[in-house]
């Protein structure tokens, strides 16, 4: 009976050893792909974290650009209203501005010739101005400086300088006559 019992225990031990051996083999067989998948997932996680950092930076930059675009219309309106003349009162507003600058500079300003180009660019209408000015050289220079520093945007295209033709009793020898070609813009 002992012999049978030992035989049974041996068979049972052999069976357990076979199960343990098959489990160890399955463990090693399945460990390699699982380990490979683990390292692949770890690499993917690292790549996704890097992309997340790039995405955050891009999002911040796009939000800043979005804020700037939201302010664009207001900034544009502020620029137009502070440096250009409104289209509707245009010429009625422009002529007194030029007259006031001429009086402040101490020059004579005869009739001004205006011409408006109907070509609309950037919401602006170009206005060409030809203005003859007479006065002393210093006063003429002051008038040009006033045009350059004016809140209204004036482009000086050309300046023709001549000796003044006035030789009357009130004229001075350093009087000059200027013919200025200017450009400004109206907006709607």
pLDDT at 79: 73
Range of the domain at 42: 1-83
Instruction: Check whether residue 171 and residue 92 sit in a common domain.
Output: yes
State the pLDDT at residue 116.
Answer: 67
In whole angstroms, how far apart are CA 77 and each of 65, 72, 118, 121? Answer: 19, 8, 21, 15
Q: Residue 58: pLDDT band by 50, 70, 90 thresholds?
A: very high
Q: What is the pLDDT of residues 147-180, one digit of tens each?
A: 888 888 888 888 888 876 654 445 556 788 888 8
- The least confident of 20-29, 112-121, 150-159 is 112-121
- Whether residues 41 and 73 share a domain: the answer is yes
Q: In terms of DSSP bridges, do strands 175-187 and 85-86 run parallel, antiparallel, or are they unpaired? A: parallel
Statement to judge: residues 32 and 59 lie in one domain? yes
Q: Answer yes or no: do 67 and 117 share one domain.
A: no
Domain boundary among 43, 64, 83: 83
- Shared domain for 74 and 149, answered yes or no, is no
Residues 89 and 66 in one domain: no
How far is Cα 119 from Cα 183, in angstroms, rounded to an integer?
14
- How many CA atoms are closer than 13 Å to the CA of 107, on its beta-carbon side? 32
Last residue of a domain, one of 58, 83, 108: 83
Same domain, 109 and 179: yes
Mean pLDDT of 52-57: 94
Total domains in the chain come to 2
* 50, 83, 116 - which closes a domain: 83
Do 94 and 180 lie in one domain? The reply is yes
Task: Please check whether residues 24 and 71 belong to one and the same domain.
Answer: yes
pLDDT digits (tens, 9 = 90+) for 87-109: 677 777 778 888 888 888 888 87
Average pLDDT over residues 102-119: 77
Residue 52 pLDDT: 94
The mean of the pLDDT values for the chain is: 82
User: Residue 167: its pLDDT value, please?
Assistant: 47
State the CATH number of the domain containing residue 113: 3.30.70.60
pLDDT at 48: 93
Beta strands in the chain (DSSP E): 85-86, 113-121, 124-136, 155-163, 175-187
The model's pTM: 0.55
């Amino acid at each position: 009976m002992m012999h049978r019992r030992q035989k049974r225990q041996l068979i049972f031990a052999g069976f357990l050893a076979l199960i343990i051996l098959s489990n160890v083999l399955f463990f090693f067989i399945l460990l390699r792909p699982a380990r490979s998948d683990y390292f692949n997932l770890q690499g993917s996680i690292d790549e996704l974290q890097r992309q997340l950092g790039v995405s955050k930076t891009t999002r911040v930059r796009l939000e800043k650009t979005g804020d700037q675009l939201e302010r664009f219309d207001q900034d544009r309106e502020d620029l137009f209203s502070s440096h250009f003349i409104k289209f509707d009162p245009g010429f009625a507003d422009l002529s007194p501005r030029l007259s006031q600058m001429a009086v402040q500079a101490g020059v004579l300003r005869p009739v001004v010739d205006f011409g408006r180009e109907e070509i609309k660019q950037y919401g602006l209408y170009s206005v060409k101005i030809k203005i003859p000015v007479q006065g002393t050289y210093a006063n003429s220079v002051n008038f040009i400086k006033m045009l350059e520093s004016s809140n209204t945007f004036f482009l000086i295209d050309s300046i023709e300088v001549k000796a003044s033709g006035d030789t009357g009793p009130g004229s001075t020898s350093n009087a000059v006559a200027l013919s200025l070609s200017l450009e400004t813009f109206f907006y709607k």
